[in-house]
Structure 1
Amino acid sequence: MTNNTSPSNKLLFSIFIGLFLLTFSNLNAQYSWTQGQLLLKNGDTLSGEIRLPVVSKNVVNFGGKEKVRYRKTSEAKTTKFKEEDVAKIIFHKDQNTATFIYVPTSKRKKEIFEIVTRGKATLYARRVSVSGATPMFGAAAATGMGPLNYWSYSFDNYNEFYVMRSGETVASPLITIRLSRSFRKRAIDYFDDCSSLTQKLEQKLYEEEDIKTVIETYNACE
């Protein structure tokens, strides 16, 4: 039988399979060990190295609830903490601080996000791990293996953004890996109580990269 597959198609197929396997092997990947503080709900504060889980959004998702890992030093024993134990995680670098908390994404589920900006609507961000050819916002995110910068908001670092207003019990997605709805449509529906903002969204004056500005504009809306 003659093989009619061109060399270029073979190369593209090999690249795709390589990326798929690389990401699939990273199903239970975690953020790198980072110096910080782990604040527990019992009032204790643990200082040392902390490692946060990366949520997996693959077709096949192994494992149960991901846990926060803590160790005093790189040579010390690692301790795992469940969501019920953790109040917040704080990382410091220079004059910057990044705060991570568990955020309810459904009535029964909470997941770890960084707080991007606070107000009557608070914006949360996270990076997730996926396999396959799902579009993402950067090469680092595409493999799930790239470096993270906790200290600046960037689409290279995060690819899912949720929002939650004061009084709400579940965060709403604005940008997600699986593009069931566009950011603009989600934002228009969510911020329908601020007409000046929704008009700008309808006029396409804000894109996904402006999400932090969108939240700040809503928080300033009278």
Structure 2
Amino acid sequence: MKYLFFLTCTVVLLATTCTQAQLTTAILTYKDGKQLIGLGKIRASGKIKFKKTKKDKAQNYSFDSITRATVYEPYGMVHYVRRKVSGTGNYAIVELVKQGKVTLYRTYDRSYRTMRSEPDQFGNGFVMSGSAPIKNYYVQKEGEPAITHFGSNQLFSKNFKKTAAAYFEDCPVLVQKIQDKVYRKRDLKAILTFYIDECAVDTE
């Protein structure tokens, strides 16, 4: 039974690894608006592995020459951009999640271990372990030169309420909702919508 369970996990892991290793439909957009269509993926280094056709040899492209990389991921087409991270002086390659007067970004980093206890067919308890991606969230108001890190989905992440209260201090009603836990970290999209609808100043 244990051998079967181990074999199943191994097959799933290998299948997942093979899928992640494949290049999928990708579009590179240059600063002058020119686009390059082909196959690619975002590498851990932040560069884009890309080739025009399956027969071509893949090359690495950096965000020094392009403004955006659009890559087909299992959950849909994703726009990747490079942004400076506030308070660090560093740059990050981030996914564009929601764009507007306040834009939401995220990154997927290395996985963390998850564990849970489930009974087997004989009623005995055992622990299953797996992994889940670490999602880091960032926001950026119009006109801001850098993105602000709002924490991650890790168990021990930065104080979301404190960060959000400071960032949205120009919207007291929203800050109060965050302090009262009406809005939590998982409600970032709703928080941005509320801020735009109720507090964002139209500078046009």
* TM-score, normalised by the number of residues in structure 2: 0.68
Q: Which letter does structure 1 place at the counterpart of 2:94? A: F
| 8 Å contact from structure 1 (residues 50, 69) kept in 2 | yes
* Cα distance in 2 for residues equivalent to 1:121 and 1:169: 13
- Structure 1 or 2, whichever has the larger Rg, is 2
What's the CA shift for 1:92? 5.8
8 A Cα contact 2:30 2:66, kept in partner: yes
Give the structure 2 partner of residue 127 of structure 1. 108
Q: Does 1:70 align with 2:70?
A: no
Per-residue deviation, residues 172-191 of structure 1 (Å, max 9, x unmatched): 11123584522222111111
The reply to whether residue 83 of structure 1 matches residue 100 of structure 2 is: no
How far residue 108 of structure 1 moved from its aligned partner, in angstroms, is: 3.8
Higher strand proportion (structure 1 or 2): 2
Paired-residue identity, %: 26
Does the Cα contact within 8 Å between 2:111 and 2:132 map onto a contact in 1? Answer: no
1:45 shift after superposition: 1.1
Structure 1: state its 5+ residue gaps: 1-21, 55-64, 143-157
Amino acid paired to 1:39: T
Provide the TM-score with structure 1 as the length reference. 0.63
Q: 2:72 matched to 1:101?
A: no
Mapped to 1, the partners of 2:176 and 2:145 lie a distance apart of: 27
1:73-121 deviation digits (Å, cap 9, x = unpaired): 333211111221121012469xx64322111115642221111112221
Tell me how far apart the structure 2 counterparts of residues 37 and 165 of structure 1 sit (CA, whole Å): 26
Which residue of the partner structure matches residue 26 of structure 2?
A: 36
Assess if the C-alpha contact under 8 Å between 1:31 and 1:52 holds in 2. Answer: no
Deviation at 1:53, TM superposition (A): 2.5
- Aligned amino acid, residue 103 of structure 2: T
Alpha-carbon distance in structure 2 between the residues aligned to 1:127 and 1:99: 13
| Residues 1:48 and 2:38 are matched in the alignment | yes
Are the equivalent residues in 2 in contact too, given 1:127–1:159 (CA < 8 A)? yes
- Whether the aligned pair in 1 keeps the contact of 2:106 and 2:137 (CA below 8 Å) is yes
Q: Tell me, what secondary structure is at the counterpart of 2:169?
A: coil
| Structure 2, unpaired ranges of 5+ | 1-12, 116-129, 200-204
CA contact (8 A) 1:115 1:124 kept: yes
8 A contact 2:80–2:96 mirrored in 1 = yes
> Quick one: which of 182, 187, 200 aligns to 1:210?
187
Aligned equivalent of 2:161: 184
- Measured against aligned partners, the alpha-carbon deviations of 1:23-48 in whole angstroms (never above 9, x if no partner) come to xxx9xxx7852202111225431101
State the distance in 1 between where 2:50 and 2:197 align: 38
- Summarize the alignment of residues 155-170 of structure 1 with structure 2, pairs less than 5 Å apart: 159-170=135-146
Of 89, 114, 125, the match for 2:95: 114
Alpha-carbon distance in 2 for matches of 1:206, 1:74: 46
RMSD value, Cα? 3.0
* SS of alignment partner, residue 159 of structure 1: strand
How many residue pairs are counted as aligned between the two chains? 164
Asked which structure has the greater RCO (Cα within 8 Å, sep 6+), the reply is 1
